[in-house]
Each structure stands twice: as C-alpha cells, then as structure tokens.
Chain A
Amino acid sequence: MSGTAGAGAGGAGRARATRGRAAVEPSVVLTGVCGRLGRLLLRGLHREGRVVGIDRRDFPDAPPDLVHYRLDLRRKACRDVFRREPVRAVVHLGVMHDPRMSAETRHAWNVEGFGRVLEYVAAHRIPKLVLLSSAAVYGARPGNAQFLLEDAPLLAASRLSEIRDLVELDMLAQTFFWRAPECETVILRPSFIAGQVHNEIYSYFRLPVVPRLLGFDPMMQFVHEDDVVSALRLALRPGLRGIFNLGGPGVLPLSQVIARVGRPSAPVAHLLARRLLDGLWRFGLTDFPGREIDYLRYVCMVDDGRARRDLGWQPRHTLDETIRAIRDAVTA
C-alpha cells in the first residue's frame, strides 16, 4: 500500500527536483543533526557541499551555510523539504534513545519517523541512504561468537525492549536493499561510541560506584566518535552499499575499562545488580537501565573486517585515546 502511495508522490517530487537542480546543488540531508554525531559530521561535510539538517531541536549555533529545518520527521512539512531540495544522500542519525521517555512514544517516533524517511528516499529516488545502527542490536548472549559478523541474527530485542526500536530500524533499512535496489543503502553498526555522546555506556560510567557483575568480565569494544564520523563519511561515497560493523581499535575487559576511565567500581551479584539499578533508576539517580546488564555479562563484539576491507575504514584513535574520550566525557 505504502509502495503505491510512494510511487505517486515520487513522480511529482522528481519533476520539482529536476527543475530545482540547476539552481541548487544536491544536498546531503542529516536527520538528528543537533545531536553530537550530527554536529561532528556536519563540521566536515558542510564545507564540501550543501547540507540540510532536520531535527526537532533548535540549532542556535548552526553554521550559516547549513539549511536547518526544525521539524518532526513525522510531520507533513518534512515531505516539503524533500520536494524542495534535490537530495543526493540521507544520513539518518535521528534515532531517539532517551530511556526516560515512555517506550511507546519513543517506539512510535523512531519507527514512524524512519518509515517516513524511507518513503521519501524511495519516492524521490535518492541514491544513498545511511543508517547509524549499533552493534548492540546483536544482543549480548552467552552463545555469541567472540566477534560477530554482519549476518549474525539481531537478537537484542528478545530480552531488551529498549533496543527494540533500533533493531526494527535496522531491519527496515535491510528491507530497503530489495525494496529500493537503486538506492545504495548503508547500515553502520558501531560498537559502544566513546566521546561526548549521550548513550547508555556514558550513563553507566557516571554511576557513583560503577557496578561490575560478580564473576563476569566480558571483553568490550569501543569506537571513538571521530572514527564513527569518518565511517559515515566513507559510507557517503557513491558505489558503496551494505552492512558494516565498526568494531574499534582493540578490545579490553570491562574491569580494565572502568579502571582506565578512572571510576571506582564494585562487583555485585547479577541478581542483585538488576534490582539495585532498577531502584536507582526509579529514583532518577541513573539513566542506565537495569535491563542492559546483559552487556556487562556476556560478550557482544563485532568483526569489522568488512568495513576495513570494503569501506576502507580504519579507526584513527588508538585504544588508549578511545578510552580517554570516555573518561573525559564522564568526568566533564
């Protein structure tokens, strides 16, 4: 159903796009441009060509050459952006993972919003779509291979509802490989991102005493935010499509990471840890959801050989620098 509707809108959109092309050069659309990664990506990108940002948030200190639309992705006005602009690529960073928001609202926003993006990409024959997913979609499980490949099943949602949104988005983007074969779809699945990014791992390290699970010390991967941005830029190159894991410069056991980040930590029996975190969560003392302790228990690391080979990606920051980025973010 949505397919036919999309095709109808596509005819009109293409006509306008052709008319506008002479005047305006094709732009890159960044959704969620006001987030940390959006800003970082923008920093390099807006000097090379036209960049259009879409975000619900205001962007007060935006560079003057950024065309920013303060819009909800689900709004009709958003369609006009795509009608107005000839677009050469869409980078979807606008995934909301505010754990405080009700699961339903967030789910609706994420899935519906991305659904719209896909619709516009299909309708306007945009040649490139990049989704920033996460390695967490594979889920931390005892039966995980030490380094998961891109074709491993996405099993995170079976235990963890928080990540369900992301798994669904990832799956939606995967359907695009055959739904819109003319569009070069790229899905990036980075490991935990280190830097000023507000994610769960950051909330975890911000706990007054960082809990470890007694008797568990899984190996972990981290990737620096700059390296994620460089992967996003590489993904924008024409001719590239596919799913790419982004592992990082090296692996370390959790206990070593905590020590290097410089936080006090304590081992807690895992049955207790869950309750403890749920309690802290309820009183608003942490933004780290107790349900995510599986990531502190089992290994969830990825093999990024494909990204290094086909994307030409190489993490520029060393393991030490990456861990230091977490430390700086946490202590700041």
Chain B
Amino acid sequence: MLAPEAALAPLAPPAPREPLTSLPPPAPTLAPLRAAAAGPVTRSLRTAGHRLRRLIDPEFERQYERILERLGLQNFDPFGFNVGYARYVLHAAAWMYRRWFRCRVEGLERIPPGRALLVANHSGQIPIDGMMIATALLLDHDPPRLVRSMIEKWAATLPAISTFLARCGQVVGLPENCRLLLEREELILVFPEGTKGISKTIDRAYQLEEFGSGFVRLALENHAPIVPVAVVGAEEQYPSVANLKALADLVGAPAVPVSPLFLLGPVGLLPLPTRYHIAFGEPIRLEGEVDEEDERVTEHVHRVRSTVQELLRRTLERREGIFR
C-alpha cells in the first residue's frame, strides 16, 4: 500500500513491476533514436501526468494497490490484464467517474463478497457504462473489487482496441472464460442485450432489448448470484438519431450511430457530461440445474430482465435532470 505522498509522486514511465531476473534488455537498434525522442516526450508526459494526478482523488492509488495485493496480481495476469497499463486507464476512468459523469451510486453494499454476475443495461454507443460500473467498484466499494466485463468476439479482431481491452482486464465473453474467472471468485459484468443495446437510438432510451440467455446458464452452472444493475445517464451521452446498418455491415461493425453532435466536429465526439446514476439491486440466486430446458432458462432470463427494467425505471424516476 502506498502512502498519500507516494500517490502524488510524479508519474513514472510504465515499467513492468516485476523486475526481470538475469535477462538483458531488448537488443537496441532503434534505441538511440528512441531515447532522443523519449526525453522530451517522457518529460512532458510526466508533467501532464503530474497535473492529471492532482485532479483525481488520491484514494485511487490506495484502492488500486489493495486490489493488486488481494488478487496477488503482478505484471500480467493470464487474460492479459496488465497492472501498469490498467493503472493509467483506470486513473483516467476515475477522473471521468468523479469529474465528467459525476457518478451517483447506490446499492454497492448489496454485492456479495465472492463470485457474482453483474447484469446491466447497455447504452451509450461506446461502452463507457461498463467502465463506470467497474470504477464504482474500484473506488467506492469496500474492499475495492476488480470487475471483468465480457466483450464481443468481434472486438478481438480489432487492432489496438483488442489489446487495450485485454490490458484493462476485459475478457472475450465465452462460457469457458467466465467459468475460469468465477472459479477465482471474481466479479463478471455482462450486458445481455449485447450490441443491440448499446447502439439503440435515443427514442428507445431505457427500453431494454431482448436478453441473451447465456448468462443464466453460467449463473446456474457456477452457482453465481446475479446482481441486477441499472445505469442511467449513459443513453444521453451520445444522443443517436439513426443507425447506419448498411455501412455497419460493410465494415463489419455491429452498428454505426449518427449523432447530431457530430456536426460540431471533434468536440462532438466527446460524450456529453450527463450525470450517471448507477444502481445495484438485490442479488438474485437462481435455483435449478445446468441442463435446464430452454423454457425454464427463458423464465429466468425474463425474471432478471424485468428486475433490471424495474430498477432502471425507479432510478430514472428519481433523476431530476439529465445533467443534475
């Protein structure tokens, strides 16, 4: 655990935490060039990082270290989570959580201590909602917890993005992967609406799409409780008025949203600073066999879906304005 002074120390360049034993550094052919460029770059990064870190509450570093200690994480975990890399991303996420989206969270105490599936509504064109749920558990839950969210197979084919997601602890949403993580008593975040949910247009805001049923079988098989989660505020961050299906099919993406804000140019690409309200519901413990018939599974799915919808409705009702 770091002392608060240490938390405010200038940002060091990302280095592997675990010192390599007797292996030499990579053979340097471009090293002199890189070093020449690295000087000013690291310096400016360091100042920028220093400033950035002053913006975030020092709590972050402490919570993050607690997680690493508890999970015994060093350098890389088998799924590609990287301690150094994720630190920066989560830093940024913590800033967004506190300053940009000013998240209000309730029901964190309902999350069971061991394994669980967090089942949430999906919205907002890009999956910031998942990031904010994860940040809530990191910053405001005691003890802090690491959330692994399940991503589309399609995302694994994207350069840069696939690596980014993996380094931050996201995992391709396959039953085998979930099983491994649940066995390690981790928290898994699932969006059963899938890409249909995240790319909805503004007129259908907060109306849940159909849920996939995979998560119910996972919960049954691994005896994992399901925690319903409602995220309010993400729908308005990118008010999408249309979804260019043809273009999406052409590039192989699940959706191409159109927001009138895009007319503003690069500024329009920023999500609107709506206020996020994240509500965690009472855990649902499903009873049944793994090889349950589809009909029974569908019943469970409907039950979870209506719980999320109800939670969503209640949270929406209490909201006083999109930005307040």
A: residues with CB less than 8 A from B are 142-149, 209, 213-219, 250-253, 256, 258-260, 262-265, 269-270, 298, 301, 303, 320, 323-324, 327
Contacts and interface: CB of A to CB of B under 8 A. Distances in A.
B26 A262 contact: yes
Contacts of A214: 159-160
B29 A143 contact: no
Contact of A219 (B20, B25, B28, B76): B76
Given A142-B153, A215-B159, A215-B161, A264 B176 contact: no
B36 interface: no
Interface in B161-177: 161-163, 166, 171-172, 174-177
B161 A146 contact: no
Contacts of B156: 142-143, 298
Interface in B1-54: 16, 20-21, 23-30
B78 interface: yes
7 contacts: A142-B154, A143-B172, A144-B172, A146-B172, A146-B180, A262-B26, A298-B157
B80 interface: yes
B32 to A, nearest CB: 13
B16, B153, B160, B166 — which one has the most chain A CB atoms within 10 A of its CB?
B166
Interface in B245-266: none
Nearest to B26: A259
B154 A262 contact: no
B78 A251 contact: yes
A323 B176 CA distance: 27
B24 to A, nearest CB: 6
Contacts of A323: 23
A147 to B, nearest CB: 7
Nearest to A143: B153
Contacts of B159: 213-216, 269-270
B79 interface: yes
A215 B162 contact: yes
Interface of B: 16, 20-21, 23-30, 76, 78-80, 82, 153-154, 156-163, 166, 171-172, 174-177, 180
Given A145-B176, A253-B80, 11 more contacts: A143-B172, A145-B172, A147-B176, A217-B163, A250-B78, A253-B76, A253-B82, A263-B26, A263-B27, A264-B30, A269-B159
Contact of B27 (A213, A216, A264): A264
B23 A327 contact: yes
Nearest to A219: B80
Q: Which 8 A-B pairs have the closest CB atoms?
A: A215-B159, A215-B160, A145-B176, A142-B156, A259-B26, A264-B29, A143-B153, A142-B157
Contact of B76 (A145, A251, A263): A251
Contacts of A303: 176
Contact of A216 (B76, B163, B171): B163
B78 A147 contact: yes
A143 B171 CA distance: 11
Contacts of A269: 159
Question: Which of A145, A148, A303 counts the most B-chain CB atoms under 10 A from its CB?
Answer: A145
A209 B29 contact: yes
Contacts of B76: 219, 251-253, 256
B26 A264 contact: yes
A139 to B, nearest CB: 14
Contacts of A219: 76, 78-80, 166
A213 B78 CA distance: 20
Contacts of B177: 145-146
Contacts of B161: 215
A71 B157 CA distance: 46
Contacts of A215: 158-163
B162 A320 contact: no
Contacts of B27: 262-264
Contacts of B78: 146-147, 219, 250-251, 301
A259 B25 contact: yes
A331 B174 CA distance: 39
A143 B16 CA distance: 29
Scoring B29, B78, B153, B161 by chain A CB atoms within 10 A of each residue's CB, the highest score goes to B78
B56 to A, nearest CB: 27
B37 to A, nearest CB: 15
Contacts of B26: 258-260, 262-265
A256 B85 CA distance: 13
A263 B30 CA distance: 12
